Amino acid sequence: MSAPVLSIRNLNIDYVGAEKNFHAVKDVSFDIAPGEFFGLAGESGCGKSTIAFAVSRLHRPPALIRTGSEIIVGGRDVLDLDTAELRSFRWREVAMVFQSAMNSLNPVLTIEDQFYDVLRAHTKISREEARARAAELLKLVDISPDRLKSYPHQCSGGMRQRIVIAICLALNPKLLIMDEPTTALDVVVQREILQRIDVLRKRLGFSVLFITHDLGLMVQVSDRIGIMLQGELVEVNDAATIYKSPQHPYTKRLWASMPRLHGEQIKPEASS
Ligand SMILES: Nc1ncnc2c1ncn2[C@@H]1O[C@H](COP(=O)(O)OP(=O)(O)OP(=O)(O)O)[C@@H](O)[C@H]1O
């Protein structure tokens, strides 16, 4: 089996407080294989985003990663990278779509300039080449290259979100982290975007770490799913098992708390 794209070992993260520390991520370990769509689910506040930020090394104080934690990407521990190494690590190896990504585009720059900024910062690329690459990336997410001249406010929310995803794919990262990437969008647009991501990861071969509290959406798109409860990873299983025969009592409770489209609840099969 080929080496994992991401290997997290004994990850412990505290939020350091004046009075006492809060242990937000508790000894979490999991791997993501090349090309795998891995979902991380759990109620609000269970530590999902804290993990996502740590993997991208975007965590800031008061978040403190404890000694002994490992986040291995491409054979290197992300926690050991210096500033110069981090610059090439982000975007090239790991790119992250945030919860409010569609509002993260710069309002005073055209879409073309936003692509150019990222491409120019990381590669030796001419304006012409960047335009061609940006057009190609827009097509990947089903947006006409005519949009290169638009400003963010001229694009719908779903379109802006797809533009952010296209920018994230600009440097062919091995891992795309998506933290509640579609929460602000309507259900149909959410689904379209996730289906598009799925097609792209199969075509381009990147892996996905997808974070949401919406377990129903997650089982439809993920290969494997990790369930978090109060900072701990309590179950990791393939999506079908999580759906049909969840093993951990908390996973069962999560399903029970989740309304289905027509009001009935998903009843997981009783586990033996
Ligand atoms: N800057 C901070 N200072 C102190 N505690 C924090 C900070 N950021 C997050 N926390 C706490 O750490 C815990 C984990 O938060 P995190 O945002 O990772 O959860 P989450 O599972 O991603 O939640 P959500 O789905 O609401 O985004 C929560 O209890 C949160 O209140």
**Ligand 1 atom nearest to 17, measured from its CA:** 4
**CATH classification at residue 241:** 3.40.50.300
Question: d(Cα 271, Cα 264) in Å, to the nearest integer?
Answer: 21
**Ligand 1 atom nearest to 46, measured from its CA:** 21
Flag whether 78 is in a domain: yes
What number of other Cβ atoms are within 10 A of residue 111's Cβ? 25
Flag whether 147 is in a domain: yes
Element housing 203 (H / E): helix 187-204
From 11, 12, 14, 15, the mutation candidate for ligand 1 (largest count of ligand atoms within 8 A of CB) is 15
User: What separation, in Å, do the N-terminal and C-terminal C-alpha atoms of the chain show?
Assistant: 31
Flag whether 115 is in a domain: yes
Flag whether 262 is in a domain: no
pLDDT along the chain (272 residues), means of 10: 92 96 98 97 94 94 97 96 92 89 88 95 94 95 95 93 93 94 78 89 95 90 97 98 96 85 45 40
Structural domain count, the chain: 1
From 20, 22, 183, the mutation candidate for ligand 1 (largest count of ligand atoms within 8 A of CB) is 22
Flag whether 261 is in a domain: no
**Ligand 1 atom nearest to 47, measured from its CA:** 18
What number of other Cβ atoms are within 10 A of residue 10's Cβ? 12
Cα 49 from chain centroid (whole Å) = 9
Flag whether 89 is in a domain: yes
Query: What pLDDT shows up at residue 184?
Result: 73
Flag whether 185 is in a domain: yes
From 50, 215, 233, the mutation candidate for ligand 1 (largest count of ligand atoms within 8 A of CB) is 50
In whole numbers, what is the pLDDT of the chain averaged over residues?
Answer: 91
Question: d(Cα 19, Cα 168) in Å, to the nearest integer?
Answer: 39
Cα 67 from chain centroid (whole Å) = 24
Query: What pLDDT shows up at residue 244?
Result: 95
**Ligand 1 atom nearest to 51, measured from its CA:** 18
Non-local CB neighbours of 236 within 8 Å, separated by 6+ positions: 30, 224, 225, 226, 227
Query: What pLDDT shows up at residue 262?
Result: 41
Domain membership of residue 201 as a residue range: 6-256
**Residue-wise burial string across 166-177, b where 16 or more C-beta atoms lie within 10 A, e elsewhere:** bbbbbbebbbbb
How are beta strands 37-41 and 207-212 bridged, if at all? parallel
Flag whether 164 is in a domain: yes
Using a 6 Å CB cutoff, which residues line ligand 1?
15, 22, 24, 42, 44-50, 62, 213
Q: What is the pTM of this model?
A: 0.91
The pLDDT tens digits of the residues spanning 112-146 come to: 999 999 999 999 999 999 999 999 999 999 999 99
- Burial class of residue 272 in the structure, from the number of CB atoms within 10 Å of its CB (0-12 exposed, 13-18 middle, 19+ buried): exposed
